[in-house]
Copies of this chain bind each other. A is one copy, B any other.
């Protein structure tokens, strides 16, 4: 019962934060929250959509997307991997690590003896074989900190719940 308790707490937290951001708690959002709060997976929008659809046959996939981006903007969920429009390739065969700018998507390699020596815990071996381990550091790159314009592909990804007149929690 630990799991569902945990889920309940998580759900409560999501609702609180969303409410405090001045965003309306609609049925569909509530259902999506519930689904999210109870998963231990890393679902994609489609998966959540299908799950929610079982209880609420009329939701639209679009709403699921919108809700997820909103939650991401509030810091309640993260997106895995790079915020990806297209696949990026890496030709660097040397052991290295990545710095990813969460705003513009730029990726820089860096090396570090310390990090190369990092010790993957035994427990991971139960999950599967370990081929490769690397560190991913996220932040806002120097360039984005100076200029205030994402240099690449402004495809509604970073920021923006896509709400021209919507939500706007006026995040200070």
Contacts and interface: CB of A to CB of B under 8 A. Distances in A.
Interface string A73-100: 0001111111111111111010000110
B135 A118 contact: yes
B83 A99 contact: no
Interface string A113-155: 0110011110110111111111111111111110000000000
Given A44-B87, A80-B88, A88-B80, A131 B102 contact: yes
Contacts of A115: 118-121
Interface of A: 10, 36-37, 39, 41-46, 48, 68, 72, 76-91, 93, 98-99, 101-102, 107-108, 110, 112, 114-115, 118-121, 123-124, 126-145
